[in-house]
Structure 1
Amino acid sequence: MSRPRKVVPANSGSSRRRAVAPSARRRLTLVVGLLGLASAGLVARAFDIQVIRKDFYQEQGDARFLREVPIPVSRGTIFDRNGEPLAVSTPMVSITAVPSQVLESDDQLPALAAALGTSTDQLRTYLEQRSNREFAYLKRQMSPEAAQAVLDLGIPGINGQREFRRYYPSGEVTAHVLGFTNIDDHGQEGLELAFDDWLSGQPGRKRVIRDNKGHIVEDVEQIRAPKPGHNLTLSIDRRIQFLAYSELKNAVEKSEADSASMVILDVKTGEVLAMVNMPTYNPNAIGSSTASSRRNRAMTDVLEPGSTIKPVLMAAALSSGQYTPTGPLIDTTGGHWYFQGHDIHDTHNWGVLTPTGVITKSSNVGAAHIAMSLDTKLMYDTYRAFGFGNSTDSGFPGEASGYLKIGRDWRPLEKAIMGYGYGLNVTVLQLANAYATIADGGVMHSPSFIKGSDSPPRAIISPQIAHELIQMLETVIQPGGTGAPYAYVANYAVAGKTGTAHKASAGGYSKNSYTSAFVGIVPATHPRLVAAVVVDNPKKGSYYGGLVSGPVFARVMDGALRLLDIPPDNIGRWYVGQPLQDKNGLIGSKAPEAPDIEEAPVDRVTP
């Protein structure tokens, strides 16, 4: 009997193994294939990034970590003529930020705000408004110590940027001459503006690498080398400038004047040794100043010169050949001249005067008579030659040219009153420069604020006429003159002229507002310095130029002559309370304690 055949079930293990084996190989092949494709993709991507589009991705990376930053340069130092610094640049640090990064450190904003001196809410608002920017200033020009305290907080996105801030050691004493710079260290007014390109230099540029907090971790390369600003040496003498400032300030306070100006020139070069204005301001705290206090009135404001114009009129008279210092005689009897319906008058009845007497007594009647006797073209050309109606070419920003009507258009009354300083406008610098021309033998120099500048001189009048004018102007400071004794400088001969003018107002001239002026030359025998002092609208005490401005001139010149070691030329001659002498010996017993006379201001003359 045969054995029955063993039947193996269809779902036995061996069958499963034979059925499963092909499926595993396929999966393995698939996985290997996918990995191969992925590897190929990575290789392709790497090739694309590192080879094909290398420059693009390098640029993108650099944009995030490689930066071009400026290399700040120091602005040139401004010195006075003796090498004393008047304007210097001090290193400061400005705090900058990447606003979006700083906002991510919200918990540190209170500490940052405190270090910056602001409130947390204000800081957060400021950053949120600039969150789409990669750069923003948080605070400009902090001291290095205060800035380091901010940086030590370690807040991502906060950086320090070195800058420079202008500092003026003399403060308000030299403010109007120097001007000031803005927060970016560019000149805004005065000589800082006039010589901005010279002083500024050129900042450099460099590439740096920043970390993820925005800090510079490496200097890559210098793109452009920095070029520091050039230094500037002025003609200003800080010692004389301070003298002028102190005396002018005292005069304004004493007389309760609205404003005042003083200019001192070197006769031989035209260099400005001092220029002061009141009111003034502190350029180190410009935010507390006003536009009015920042105005350099000696350069930008104009005035009617009053009797200070009479030496220029006399220059025309002497040049005409019609007059000499002693003749012809001019009749001012009565002290009034009614001309074309206007009363031209003096303070006293001086009677008959020589041309020198017209200057000594400052006679308006005498000056008007001389003006009307001169050829109009000659008078106009002389005024013009002395710089009136033209800029002095000093190079100072905003300098006014003044006003002088064309001579052919002068009406008779206009011509008459121009003889004693009305109907034209001048600056204080123009007045000083006109007298400096007389002092230097009739040679005019363009005023300069730079030491050693070389402007070509121009002959305006003959040396003989200039010499005669100085001798005539000396009589103003001698007994009986309108400048004696207040403009007197002990041991020095002074030549000068007072001026008192009503201020123009609507419909004519004010009866109670005056411009008080004095312009003088020292030493008169060998002129070295010229100073012009103008006080606007003194309201307390006297308003006459000799009494208000004359003492300022005397005190400043007394100090300046000694500072510059200029030898005396008038030793042993008169001074207040002492015997009066001249070249011919004793001429009086005592010098007067106060002037007997002053020039008469015009009374509402309307051309």
Structure 2
Amino acid sequence: MQDPKNSVKNRVMFYFAILFVLFTILALKLVWIQIINSAEYQHKALNQRVSKFIVNSERGIIYDNTGRKLAVSLPAKTVVALPDNIIKAEKTATELAALLDQDYKTIYRRITSEAAAIFLQRKIDEKLYQKIKAKNLEGITFTEESKRYYPEGELASHIVGFTGIDNNGLNGIELSYNNHLNGRAGKMIVERDAEGRTIPNGIREAVPGRDGYNVHLTIDSVIQYMAEKELENAESKFEFSGGSVIVMDSSTGDVLALANTPSYNPNKFGKYSEKNWRNRAVNDVFEPASTFKIITAASALEEGVITENDILTDPGHIYVENQKINCWSSLGHGSQTFAEVVKHSCNPGFVEVGLKMDKKTFYSYIKAFGFGEQTGIRLPAEAKGIIPDYKDIGPVELATFSFGHGISVTPIQLASAVSAVANGGKLMRPRLVKEVDTGVGSKNIKNEPQVLRRVISQTTADKTKELLKQVVKNGTGTKAAIKGYQIGGKTGTAKHYNDDLYNSSFIGIVPAENRDLVVLTILYDIEGETYYGSQTAAPVFKNLTENILNYLNVKPEPGNDFNYQETEKELKVPDLINSNILTAESNLRELGFNVKIIGDGKSVADQLPSPETSTNYNSTIWLFTEQELKAETLIPVPDFRGLKLEQAKKIAARKGLELILDGQGKVIGQSIYPGSRVKSSRKINLKLR
């Protein structure tokens, strides 16, 4: 039997041991709190008595180039529920569901939650605010936030873009310049007692915020309005899915207007399809068609493979590796100068010119003019365009490039490239933002005009512009002509591959005092009988340009005719075979010819046209340093049918073709079909009667 004394002693020792362990644990806990982890608990204690308040910053304003506000920030009320203060939840939910146009169950669930405060609907308009306020609902209050507002509504919506509910940019300049516009929120820290009262000598700290920077655009709101209005007018005349207009100052690259249809109101962007938000002038690509002939012409003139007086022939088609490429005129244009080829927009003529440039040269010009890469306009999702890889380009692809098929470009790329012709040969980076105003005491961020590179010479640019004036004067672009102004331009019509739809376009160079403007109009997916660029896009261009010139106060000059005159002067080609190549070139230029040297030799082995041939003043004479180079040169065969013998001989001599004649009178047949490309050594039989 256990001794009672030992039993008591054991129980005392057991309880003592428990107390010792508890004391040890408590002591260790105190050491942990007071010494080891003291900083964390000090921080928690501070947080219990310190309140932080966010001081929202003001988002920057977006201005056009005249100081008109395109985007501003206005105060707006946000509906806030305080669940602990709501007494009649069912009634409150019913009232709010009707006013906020939300589901009753959703509202009820939110206002009966355990949260201290809940946003029910943010940034409501003044009318709705007054309606809710008038209900005097217990536990429903309001807080003030900043709401983005676009005073001009749809005007320039594809440029300006819009923001989301948190005032962060989601599209346009609002997105691409979001870091500049957004600013930085401030912070206020205040120490309070247990009852929430501010402690007089407690902690107070203010971290200042920064309002967003103001952004100044190059856009002129008046010109922008005109551009959008002309697209709207076109919708009442033609059936098309959308359109784009760009107006650019070629001297600086400044975009004065960039319009698209369909459009949208950024104040209510959520009510529109995402298709309406799309900036087709920057995000989408299209086949430029004949408007690209401006690039082909400028490149060929710069390379010296052609001059405006060189004679080309068009039987209505041309063959390239057994592929027949037709002219828009089934009868063709016959024998014509390159100036007339441009004026008539003759595809076979441009194919011949494009193929005179070798693949490497033509491709390098296409890239130099900025196609196949982003322009750097700084708008979201800019497309690069589609240029086939160099290795995939053969003679047929090169031929179709010459008249704008087989490649895809963006409207902003095309406007920038033609601006390089308009300003004398310099490719400018398109400029949409002129300056970012960083506020008092800071240096503004200026976006100066930027020359990317020189692509052609001033001389070539001037020649190209004169050719384009003839297109408007009495070529395919006459519906774009404005009396008293020397406007040059080019039409374009591209058929969709799988549908009976067309993209029609016109791009023009417009003298406006000490600068040239480039105006591009595009109508996408036109259907119906009227679809040519000359019938649709050119009249849109004319109406818009007339309004712009009037607005800019650019006065017409009565009787202001175009300066370029095609020359009828003919010269005989001298015999230069075996001459020193440099001496031969110098002699030809003194006589008034243009010269293209083929080969790396030091003397002339052969020439084209042949000696004693009569050809136009300033036409191109090809000098070959090796006879094999001439023998391999492919020449399009003219249509000799119906010509008199002397006419046929003259054309053949100019082209460098040798004829075998059978009979007298007029040509009634030829051994090689017109439009075929043959080596210069190939002889052509003509039957005459």
Query: 102-111 vs 88-97, which deviates more?
Result: 102-111
Matched, 1:402 2:389: no
Give the superposed CA RMSD: 3.2
Q: Distance in 2 between matches of 1:500 and 1:387?
A: 22
- SS of match in other structure, 1:75: coil
1:523, 1:495 → 2: CA distance?
Answer: 9
Give the 3-state SS of the residue equivalent to 1:317 in structure 2. helix
Deviation string 1:432-467 (CA, Å, 9 cap, x unpaired) is 111110000001110011126314312111000000
- Determine if contact 1:254/1:540 at 8 Å carries over to the other structure: no
Q: Counterparts of 2:192 and 2:541 in 1: how far apart (Å)?
A: 62
Q: Is 1:519 the equivalent of 2:519?
A: no
Runs of at least 5 residues in structure 2 that lack an aligned partner in the other structure: 1-37, 436-446, 566-689
2:162 is the counterpart of 1:180: yes
1:503 and 2:496 matched = yes
SS at match of 1:546: coil
Matches of 1:258 and 1:90, distance apart in 2:
35
- Superposition deviation, residue 340 in structure 1: 2.7
Residues 86-165 of structure 1: pairs in structure 2 closer than 5 A:
86-102=70-86, 110=94, 116=100, 118=102, 121-128=105-112, 131-143=113-125, 146-147=128-129, 150=132, 158-165=140-147
- CA–CA separation in structure 2 for the residues paired with 1:301 and 1:270: 20
Q: Does 1:170 align with 2:155?
A: no
Q: Write out aligned runs for 1:298-377 (5 A).
A: 298-327=281-310, 329-333=311-315, 335-348=316-329, 349-377=332-360
1:55-94 CA-to-partner distances (Å, cap 9, x unmatched) read 979967974x864232122211111100011111111011
- TM-superposed CA distance for 1:238, in Å, is 0.4
- Secondary structure of 1:441 counterpart: coil
SS in 2 for 1:70: strand
The residue aligned with 2:407 is 424
2:438 corresponds to 1:456 = no
2 CA distance for matches of 1:274 and 1:566? 18
Aligned to 2:215, which of 226, 232, 253?
232
Contact 1:269–1:445 under 8 Å retained in 2: yes
Task: With a CA cutoff of 8 Å and minimum separation of 6, indicate the structure with the bigger relative contact order.
Answer: 1
Distance 1:138 1:156 in 2: 14
Determine if contact 2:467/2:564 at 8 Å carries over to the other structure: no
What SS is found at the alignment partner of 2:375?
coil
Contact conserved, 1:237 with 1:273, CA < 8 A, in 2?
A: yes
Assess, with a 3 A threshold, how the Cα gap between structure 1 residues 443 and 57 changes in structure 2: closer, same or farther: closer
Q: Report the counterpart of residue 184 of structure 2 in structure 1.
A: 202
On the 8 A contact 2:305/2:353 being kept in 1, the answer is no
Q: Secondary structure at the match of 1:519?
A: strand
- 1:159–1:214 Cα contact (<8 Å) kept: no
Q: Name the CA shift for 1:137/1:208 in 2 (closer, same or farther; >3 Å).
A: farther
Whether the aligned pair in 2 keeps the contact of 1:97 and 1:136 (CA below 8 Å) is: yes
The answer to whether residue 246 in structure 2 is matched with residue 263 in structure 1 is yes
Instruction: Pick closer, same or farther for the CA change 1:432–1:163 going to 2, 3 Å.
Output: same
> Hey, what does 2:558 align to over in structure 1?
571
What is the alpha-carbon distance in structure 1 between the residues aligned to residue 434 and residue 558 of structure 2? Answer: 31
Report the Cα distance in structure 1 between the residues aligned to 2:156 and 2:214, rounded to whole angstroms. Answer: 17
What are the within-5 Å matches in structure 2 for residues 416-495 of structure 1? Answer: 416-451=399-434, 453-457=447-451, 458-479=453-474, 481-484=475-478, 486-495=479-488
Using the TM superposition, give the Cα deviation of residue 408 of structure 1 relative to its aligned residue in structure 2, in angstroms. Answer: 4.3
| 1:243 paired residue number | 226
Residues of 2 paired with 1:293 and 1:119: CA distance?
Answer: 29
Q: Is the 8 A contact 1:69 1:207 kept in 2?
A: yes
Query: Quick one: structure 1 residues 298 and 359, their matched pair in 2 at CA, closer, same or farther if it must change by over 3 Å?
Result: same
Q: Which residue of 1 aligns with 2:624?
A: none
- Of 164, 168, 171, the residue aligned with 1:189 is 171
On the 8 A contact 2:89/2:108 being kept in 1, the answer is: no
| Percent identity (aligned) | 33
Secondary structure, aligned partner of 1:516: strand
TM-score in terms of structure 2 length:
0.69
Equivalent residue letter for 1:553: F
Q: What's the CA shift for 1:346?
A: 1.5
Which residue in 2 is equivalent to 1:14?
none
Q: Describe the shift of the 1:100–1:257 C-alpha distance in structure 2 as closer, same or farther (beyond 3 A).
A: same
> Equivalents in 2 of 1:551, 1:211: separation in Å?
75
Contiguous gaps of at least 5 residues in structure 1: 1-52, 575-580, 585-607
Contact 1:270 1:445 in 2 (8 A): yes
Cα distance in 2 for partners of 1:315, 1:500 equals: 20
Does the aligned pair in 1 maintain the 2:512–2:554 contact within 8 Å? Answer: no
Q: Judging changes above 3 Å, is the alpha-carbon distance between structure 1 residues 159 and 363 closer, same or farther for their aligned structure 2 residues? A: same
Distance 1:201 1:215, change over 3 A: farther
- Show the counterpart of 1:26: none
Deviations 1:451-507 (CA, angstroms, capped at 9, x unpaired): 26314312111000000000000001012x0000x11123211010001111233xx
C-alpha separation between the residues in 1 aligned to 2:213 and 2:343? 49
Which of 252, 270, 280 is equivalent to 1:287?
Answer: 270
Shift in Å, 1:316: 1.7
* Aligned-pair CA distance for 1:210: 9.8
Q: What is the aligned partner in structure 2 of residue 534 from structure 1?
A: 522
Residues 281 and 294 of structure 1 are in contact (CA less than 8 Å); yes or no, is this contact kept in structure 2? yes
Structure 1's 332 and 210: CA in aligned 2 closer, same or farther, altered over 3 A?
farther
Per the alignment, do residues 538 and 110 of structure 1 end up closer, same or farther by CA in structure 2, a change over 3 Å counting? Answer: closer
> Which of the residues 532, 541, 548 maps onto 1:553?
541
Q: Is the 8 A contact 2:248 2:517 kept in 1?
A: yes
For the residue of structure 2 that corresponds to 1:161, the secondary structure is: strand
After TM superposition, the structure 1 stretch with the greater mean CA deviation from structure 2, 160-169 or 276-285, is 160-169
The 8 Å contact of residues 95 and 158 in structure 1, kept in 2 or not, is answered as: yes
User: Cα distance 1:152–1:281, how it changes in 2: closer, same or farther (>3 A)?
Assistant: closer
SS of alignment partner, residue 237 of structure 2: helix
Q: Distance in 2 between matches of 1:573 and 1:205?
A: 66
8 Å Cα contact 1:470-1:524 kept in structure 2 = no
**Quick one: distance in 1 between partners of 2:512 and 2:173?**
32
Question: How many aligned positions are there?
Answer: 514
**Which residue of 1 is the match for residue 61 of structure 2?**
77
Deviations for 1:133-184, whole angstroms, at most 9, x for unmatched residues? Answer: 3332111102457546656777665443221111112222211111110011
Alpha-carbon distance in 2 for matches of 1:583, 1:501: 29
Pair member with larger Rg: 1
**Stretch deviating more after TM superposition (394-403 or 315-324):** 315-324
Aligned-pair CA distance for 1:101: 4.0
Distance in 1 separating the partners of 2:408 and 2:448: 28
Q: How far did 1:566 drift?
A: 3.0
- Structure 1, 366-375 or 105-114: larger mean CA deviation: 105-114
Deviation at 1:413, TM superposition (A): 0.6
Contact in 1 for aligned 2:242/2:523 (Cα 8 Å):
yes
Of stretches 96-105 and 457-466 in structure 1, the one that deviates more from structure 2 is: 96-105
